[in-house]
Each structure stands twice: as structure tokens, then as C-alpha cells.
Structure 1
Amino acid sequence: MPDSSSFNFPLGLNIAPSAPTNSKNPVEDSWQSQAIAEFGIAGRIWEASYLLEQYLQPPGSSSFVFDPPCSIFPPPNPPTSSITSPWPSISSPFASSSLSTFPPQTIIELGAGTGFTSLNLASLLRPEDIIVLTDLDEVVPLMEERTACRSSDSLDGQGGQVLVRGLAWGEGREDQLSLPEGREGKITHLICSDLVYFPFLYPPLLRTLLALTDPNPSKIEIIIAYKVRSLFKETPFWDSLGEEFSLVPVLADGKRFGASDGLGIFVVKRREMGKKREEEVGFEELLFLSMEI
């Protein structure tokens, strides 16, 4: 496997700051350009992150009706209070009564890069919730910088706790994340955004997903946002993932969310012991049907 220092600066790298599909202006163009220069691929906000940002919101705060809804938040109730995120365009009304009985969430993002996904989400969480940004050791300074900016911009200390950790996939370091006391073995969610691109990284990514879900395989949920770039090269990852995990595509108002832009979000869970992939009908169809590529 190539040295990790080359992951973010592949030969011929030529990328520019990104923007949401409904906007012509890159998000904070100046810092994103600088981050790309210093951290390469890790310094860019990739397209699936914007789609995932829309999904990772409490029920009732989006213009879409998602199926399945985002399980990081409690089921919808008539809002009795409102918390406004410091991030533009995100508002998160929810019922305080439902929050009081909803267990603390422990969320790990793999390949967090700029932290765009996790830091947006953190602003919507409760103080008892924890989100951990992880990436290669050489990307830790970028994650720390963006986390510090988020902390200085947040309103009245609202939001979940944010931690930053170095984590190279497939090296057996998943048990060294140094989670706060009482949170070890209590991960609730893994978040993956635009991680399926280099085929040589598929095996270590899968090993890390297996390692992180081992402590509680029936309860840990993985949320994967994905953009199709080369289906021929990417299909082996989904094929291998499906051997150990079941996947459900996220629908918005009854349609595959992001399909028109070649994007998608999948809710993923470890299979029950002894249940094989062949028992599910139309695996590839489940993944890619109606995705316009």
C-alpha cells in the first residue's frame, strides 16, 4: 500500500474549492484554497458532504421528509424549543422532552478532512453528545484548526463535544481513540463522506469499519454519503461491504436522495450472525437503482 503521505497528493492532483450544487460560491473560498494547498485532497469539501449536511439534521428542520430519518436525533415531536446553529442555513427545532430520555450519542467520522460534516453536526447536538473527527495523523492540524474556528464561532457554548484523533485505516488502532471515560465501547454512529475513491484503500477501510462495529454490531449505525465517479472501480467496495453489512438507501420525499447528481446516502448496519448477503434480493439494484450516472 502506498505511503500515507501520498494519499492526499496523488500524481496530477488538480482540484479547486467546492460549492453546494445550489450555490455558485465556494464555501469560505479563501481557507479552502489554502487547505487544499497544504493538505491536498483532505483540504477540500467534497460534494457528498453537502448532501450529508442536509440529512444530518433533526426531524422537522429540513424541507425533506427522509426515510429512514436520521437516527442521531430523537423521533420528531411538536417543537417546544428551538436551537439555532451558528452555521448558515441550518436551524434545528426539537422537543426538549424527547431529548431528556434520548441516550448520549457517540459519533465517529472517518476521513473527516476539513471537518465540514462533523462540525456542522456538532452544532446541532447536545453537550452530552460527542463527535470525534478522525483522519491521518498529518491531517490532524487541519481538523484542529477548523474545530478551533467552530468553537470561536459557536453561540453560547451550544452543541456537542468535539474531539480530534489521528486514525489510519486498517492498522488496528481503532481501540486507541482515547474516548472519554464511560464512552469506550459505546459508539452509536460512524459517518463516512466521499471515502470511496482509491481502490487500494478499500480493504483497510473495510477492516476499520469492522473493527469499530465489533463491540456492538447490532446497534452501531454507519451513515455513508457517496458520489459516483468511476462505478467500475467503486463496485468492488460495495460488493465487499455487502458481505458483512446491510445497506438501505436514504429516500427524500419518496425518491433516492441525491440521485439526480450521482450522489447517495446509505444507512448501513452489520448483518445478523449467520445471515448472508444472498438472502437479500437485488443488492446492486438496491445500491444504484435510480442513481443517474
Structure 2
Amino acid sequence: MSDIAVTNASHAKVCRDGALPQQVSTDTLRKTIAATSQAELKLELVNATEQRAAPVVTYYGLSFRIAQKAELKRVEEAFREILVSEAITRNSIGSFLADKRTQGPGREYASGLADYCLGIIIKERPDGESLTTPFSRYRELYGRALDTLKDFPRPLARLITCIIRFSLNHFENGGERTGYWELDLAIELLSNPGSASLARPHESVTRRPVCPIDHGTGRMLELSKHLTAQPRWSPILDDECRTLAQSDLLDVTDHQKALAIWAASAWRLGSTECALEPLTQIAEIYPFSRWASKYLEQAST
């Protein structure tokens, strides 16, 4: 409630879900708004502080559709059963959105999860799906999912938003921990190569899938994990990175990540000469240019 403020008003009138309007104080109005999760409010803010002047009245309409924790958990249960445990298809996405657990106040949350999964299909383009949607539209779907899910304070939503940002090469929030070790390592490596040193999880720790990841993004996570575990650099690692960076099956954002992981890993292992090829290609590409250009300058001095 401390985030809600009513200014330039002496009192207000509130109409809830079409009922008769009631006059309330500004403090009561703040409490009413803070306590509302499902309602349509029509407000009249009245400023009648000047005795000899006509009151100034402004009108607002507020629509509240705030899902409760239990409703969001039901959406996540349906997500886990339909889109995590089984293969992702357009039919399974439709089944998820039609599930009774994804209706009502949790619908927006479910739509964000569905957009993310549809973006995976568009990006991967599996043989079983007859797709006419352009490949590039996966970015639009990822972006729409990000805009929706970033407003939900749920661990699953936070994880998927971090995956989307990583996939789209948005590292403005570098250093944020998700609990998904490979993702945290890759984000740190590509945000600040000189500080990427996360402790590896114990092999005995049981892990379970909580959300799907497109194969291109997954391949980049595997590459960063593989290269940061190497004690030295060699031409074989150069060839592995070059092959991925030039693959026709990967999106341009994954090409850029492959080059950045290549450059950062070779540099960290002291192979400056091997780092020059990928550094040159990403020195003008944001956000990798923030450190790649500096490394190039150091190599030339």
C-alpha cells in the first residue's frame, strides 16, 4: 500500500463493479485500491480545497485482474504436465491454454508461458510441424512472453525471463542468479568474462526439468559449460567453436554467442592469438562490444 499515493484530491467517489458510487477519503481510497485484486473501479477524484473555486474533478477507470498464488500454481502444474513432461507441439500448447487450470485470473500468466513455448517451436522448426510462420517471428514471441512474465514474482517466470534475455543477447541484468547453474555461468561469462567463476553443483544433486529450452540456446549453455571446464586451449576447441559460429542451423543471436564464448574462453586460458578471430567479429556487436573491444586493444599493444 505504501506504493499507492493520491495527490491533489480532497476526497473521491468510488464505483465498484457497476454499484452506486460511494464518497470516500483519500486514505480509504488508497486502502481500497491496495486490497482489490478482481474488480472494475470507476473513480472520481475531487479537488475541493479552494473555498471560492469550483471543485476540479478527474475521472479514472481501473481494471484489476490479479491472480492469487494458488491460481498461478495451478497454471504451473498444467504447464509442467502438458508442456514440460511431453514434447512441445502447437496442439499441446492449445491443450495447455484450454486446460481449466489456465482459465480465469491466471490466464495472462498462461499466455506468457504459451508464447514462450510457441517461440521455441518457431525457432526449432521441427519436422512434425507444418510451419508457414517466418523464423524471425520467434523473437517477437519471446519478446511478448518476456513482457508478460517479467511482472510475475514466481521462480518459474524469473527463470524463463532470464532464458529469454540470454537467447536474445540481452545481458543488461548480468549477474542475476537463477539457480540454473549452466545459465548463470553463461550469463556471467558473456557479461564479464574476467569474473566467470561459479562453483559447479555436486553431481549427486537431483535435478528435474522445469521448463523447455530451445536447442540453439541449450547448445550455447553446453558450450560455455564445456569450455569453462577446460584447463588449456587447443586448435580442436577453435574448430569446435568455429563450426558452431558458422552453422546454418543456428540463429544469428546464437552465432554471436558462440563467437563471444569462443573469444572469452580462449582469452581466459591465455590463448590471445586464438581469441583474435572471434574478438574481431564481435567487437562492434552490442552487448559483447563492451568487453571485446577492450580485449582487442590489449592484444594490439
TM-score by length of 2: 0.24
Which structure dedicates a bigger proportion of its chain to strand?
1
Q: Which has the higher contact order (CA 8 A, sep 6+)?
A: 1
Which structure dedicates a bigger proportion of its chain to helix?
2
Q: Which protein shows a greater Rg?
A: 2
